[in-house]
Structure 1
Amino acid sequence: MCGVFRIRLRRCSPSPRAQTFLRKIWIRLVLSLLFDFLYLLPALVYAPVFFLKSRRVGENPATLFSERWGIYASEKLAKISGKKILWIHAVSVGETMVARRWIESLREIKAPFHFVLTTVTPTGQKLARQAEAEDLTAFYVPFDFSWCVNAFLQAVKPAALALVETEIWPNLILQSAAKNIPVCLINARLSEKSLRGYSRIRVLFQNVFSKIQLVLAQEESDARRFCDLGIAENRVLVMGNIKFDTAAPSVVPEAFHRNRVGIAENDSVLVAGSTHPGEEESLLRVFLRLRRNHSKLRMILAPRHVERTEEVAMICAKAQFKTVLFTDVQIKASEAWDVMVIDQIGVLKNVYALANFVFMGGSWIKHGGQNPIEPAVFDLPVLHGPHVFNFKQIYAIFGEAGGAYCVADEESCFQRVEAFLNQPELAFKTGQRAGETVKKYRGAGLKQAQRIMELIQDQKGSAQ
C-alpha cells in the first residue's frame, strides 16, 4: 500500500522543468515584495520634497503623481493605442537629451515604433514633452512599486524597454522581464562607486541583473564593471558614447544672438555651465580679477538646477556686479550687464553660442563634472576642475587632443582665461581641437539603434 502511495506521489510531482519555472516565479514574487517594502519609507519621506520641486519648476503635481502611481489620461493612451511601443527611460535632463538624440538615430534607420519616453524629474519631463511628436509620447515613469510598474505595462504594452545609462530599477526590470519584454541598457555607464554599492547588495540584485539582455556600454571600463556585477560577457558590448552625436544647431535661435542679449562685437564672454553651490562664488572672484585688465569681459552663469536662479542672482548682486536674468534680457535687450544668470530649462546648448570660452561646473566640487561635449560642438575651449569622475574618459579624450584644460583652483582658472584673452589665437586653436574631437567620435547613436533592432528581431524570432 505504501509503495502504491509513493508511486502516485511521484507521478503527481512536477517535472524538473516545471520546478525551475515555479522557482523563478517564486523568486520574482519574493524580490518584488521585498523591494516594495524597502521603497515604502523613502517614498513617504520623498513625496513632499518631490511635490515642492515640481511646483518650483512649474509642473502640475496632480499630473506628476497620477502618472507615477500608474493613472494615465485617456487622450495619452488613445494616442499610443494599437502602436508598437519602444519604451525609453531617462532619469533627468542629461539622460533625456541622450534619449532624444538616440530616437533621431532610430528614426534614421526607420525603426517601426512609437516611442514612449519616460523621466523621473520634472525638468527631464519638460524636455521630453518638448520632443513630443506624432511618433513620440512623454510620460512620467511609474514609481518602482510592482503594482505601479504593472499598471504602466498594462496601459502602454511596450515591445521593448531601453534604460538610458544607469537607470537600474529592480521592479521595472523584473516586471518587464516577466512579461517577456526585452530589457537593455543604452549608452550604459557604471562608476567604480556604483559598482562597489551594487556589490554590497549583490544578493538582492543578482536576479535583477540576470534579466538585462543587452548592455551597450560607453567604454571598456564600463563594460568590465557590468561584467563584474554578473552580467554575462556576451551580453555586454562597447558601443561608444551617444553624447558625441550632439551637433551644433544649424540655426541658433534669435534669442541667443549676441546683439539680442546686449553683447557687443568686441566683448568676450565666459560661460560657466551647470554650476553647483560654492562654485559661483569662486568664479565671481576669478571674474573680478580678470575684469581689472579686461573691462569688456562678461560672464554668464547657468546653475545646474534652475530653481537656484534667485540664489545665484543674489550672490552676483552681493559681489557688486550688475546682474540680469536671461528672461529679463529678452524683454530689455539694451540693458547693460556684467553677469547674466540663465533661468530657463533646456537652453544651455544654445547659450554656448554666446561664449568665447567655457567653464564646466560640478568639477570644483566632488560632484563628478558635467558633459563638455555641448560647448565643444561650437569649437569652444573647455575648462574644468579636477573632479570629473562621471565623465573621466571624455575629459581624457579632450585633454589629449588639446581641446580642454583642467584648472584645479581659482588661480589656475584665472591664469588660463587670462592667457586666452591675451592670445585669441590660442583660444581659437584650443576650441578648434575640441570641435574636431567631437566629430571624430560621432556615430554611437546609430550603432546602438541598429543593435537594439537586432535584439528585438532576435526576440521576435525566438518567440515564433
Structure 2
Amino acid sequence: MKKRGGYRANFGQRLGKFSPETAARLAEKPRIWIHAVSVGEANLAGLVLHELRRLAPDESFIISTTSSTGYGVCENLAQDDDVLIYLPVDFPSVVRRSLDIINAKALVLTESEFWPNIIRTCRKKDIPVILINGRISDRSAPRYKKLKCFFGDVFKCFSKMLVQSEIDKERLIAAGAPENIIRVMGSVKFDISPPSREALEKSRSTLKDAGISPEAPILLGGSTWRGEETALAKAWLKAREKSPEIRLVIVPRHAERGDEVERELSADGFTVKRRSRMKNGTEPSGGDKNAILMVDTTGELFPLYSLADIVFVGKTLPPNIGGQNMIEPASAGKAVITGPHTENFASVMDIFRKKNAIKEVSDASELSDAIMWLCEDPATRDSFGIRAGAAVEENRGALARSAEVILSQLE
C-alpha cells in the first residue's frame, strides 16, 4: 500500500478517528454500508450500488475501502448523499470507536472479506451483515476448516451469505457457517455493463495518440503481474513474423510498477511508450510500430478490452497465483487467454471451460504458441469470442437476486 501512494491521506480514519464533518455525516442517518477492499472489489461494489439505487432510489450509502487505488475508484461511485471512508483496522478498540459513530442499517461485504471484530460488533448492534459474491478458494478452504472453532462463530454473525457456487457453500458449511443462511447465487461479475461511449472514445484516442492505427490488430495484456509483461512481449515479437501489423498494449495490475516494467522490457530490447507520460505531456504523441504501449494508469483497462482482438488475463502465469477478472474481456466477445492459475475464479472458469470459451495455457511457451495460432486463424479467434460472450450472457442475474436479498434484510 505504501508503494501505491496515498497511504497517509485520511490515515486517522483507519484508526476510527474521523474529521468532525465526516463523523457528523456518518452519524446523521442510517445508510447501507458497502466495503470494497481494493480496485477489483470496488468495481464489484459499483455494480451492486447501481442495482440498489435502481431498486431503492431513496437509499444512501457508506462506501469503505482499504487501498488508495480502491479509494480512487470509489470516489467515482459515491454520490452527494453518500459517505466515503477508509475501513477502520479490525482491532477491537478501533472497531468499537468507529461503530459508535457509523450509523449503518446493514453491512455488505464482498467475496472473502471476513473482518471478525467488525462482523461481531455489527451483530451486537443488530446491524445485518451480508456477504455477496462469496467464494472460498482452494488454498483458503483447508485453513478455514482447520480453524472452524474460530470462524464458525464469526460466520454465525452473518444474516445472509450469498455465494458463487455449490462448492463455496460446502466449504463455508465445513468451516462452521449455518447452512440456512447460505444461498448459491452465481457470480455478480457476470452482470457487468458494457463501457460507455465516452470511455470507448477516450480509449480510441489513447491508442491513436500512441500511434496505433484503428485497423491494427491489438494484443492486450490486462492486469498483468511480474514476469507476464516480458512473456507477452516475446510472444508478440514472434507473432509479428506472421502478423506484422499487430500491436501490443500492456496494462499492469498495479500502475506503480510502470518503472519496473519499462526497465525489464527495455533490457530485452523493447521500446515502451507510457500512458502516464502521454497524459502529463512529457512524452509526445505518435510513435513507431515497434513500440509497446504500457497503460500505467488506473481505470482505463475495461474499455480497452472492447478494442482488442486477443486478450491475455494477468496473474495467471507461474509463479503468479489467483488470476484477475476474465469476465470483463469475455463480455466484450474477445478471444481470451489465461495461464493455469485462475484459483480466484474457479467457478467462473468451470463455466467457460464447459463452453470451450477461453484458451488456457500452462506457461510462457504455450502462451506464445496460442497467440500465434489465434493470429493465424481469425475464424477460431472469432469463435472463441462468440462463445465467451454467450457464456457471460447466459450467466447474468446474480446481481439482481443479490440486491433483492440485501434490501430484504433491512425490513
TM-score of Structure 1 vs Structure 2, range by shorter chain? over 0.9
What is the correspondence of 1:102-117 to structure 2 with a 5 Å cutoff? 102-110=48-56, 112-117=58-63
- Distance in 2, matches of 1:217 and 1:142, equals 25
- Structure 1 residues 335 and 78: CA distance shift in structure 2, 3 A: farther
Q: Is the 8 A contact 2:155 2:178 kept in 1?
A: no
Give the residue type in structure 2 aligned to 1:266.
E
Q: Which residue of 1 aligns with 2:297?
A: 344
Q: Is the 8 A contact 1:352 1:375 kept in 2?
A: yes
Secondary structure of 1:343 counterpart: coil
Contact 1:146–1:171, Cα closer than 8 Å, also in 2:
yes
Letter paired with 1:131? L
Aligned residue in 1 for 2:307? 354
Report the alpha carbon displacement of residue 100 of structure 1 after superposing the two structures with TM: 1.0
1:155 aligned counterpart, secondary structure: coil
2:316 aligned with 1:363 = yes
Deviation at 1:262, TM superposition (A): 2.1
Q: Which runs of no fewer than 5 residues in structure 1 stay unpaired?
A: 1-49, 458-464
Partner Cα distance (1:430, 1:449) in 2: 31
1:33-432 to structure 2, matched below 5 A, reads: 50=1, 52-53=2-3, 56-57=4-5, 59=6, 61-63=8-10, 65-110=11-56, 112-253=58-199, 254-257=201-204, 258-330=207-279, 331=281, 332-336=284-288, 338-365=291-318, 366-432=320-386
- Cα distance in 2 for partners of 1:293, 1:427 equals 15
Quote how far apart the aligned CAs of 1:316 are: 1.4
Shift of 1:111: 5.5
Q: Determine which structure has more spread, i.e. the larger CA radius of gyration.
A: 1
Q: Report the secondary structure of 1:88's partner residue.
A: strand
Change (3 A) 1:60 1:417: closer
* CA contact 2:164–2:347 (8 Å) conserved in 1: no
Instruction: Find the aligned partners of 1:451 and 1:161 in 2 and give their Cα distance.
Output: 13
Which residue in the other structure is 1:16 paired with? none
* Structure 2 residue runs without a partner (length 5+): none
Q: TM-score, normalised by structure 2?
A: 0.93
**Count of equivalent residues:** 403
Matches of 2:196 and 2:255, distance apart in 1? 26
Assess, with a 3 A threshold, how the Cα gap between structure 1 residues 192 and 265 changes in structure 2: closer, same or farther.
closer
Aligned-pair CA distance for 1:152: 1.8
Letter in 1 for 2:254: H
The counterpart of 1:447, out of the listed 401, 404, 408, is: 401
How far apart are 1:81 and its partner, in Å? 4.4
Structure (1/2) with the larger helix percentage: 1
1:192 and 1:225 in contact (8 A); partners too: no
Higher relative contact order (CA 8 A, sep 6+): 2
Q: What's the TM-score, normalizing by structure 1?
A: 0.83
Cα deviations by residue, 1:289-330 (Å, 9 ceiling, x for unpaired):
112232212111111222211100111112212211113345
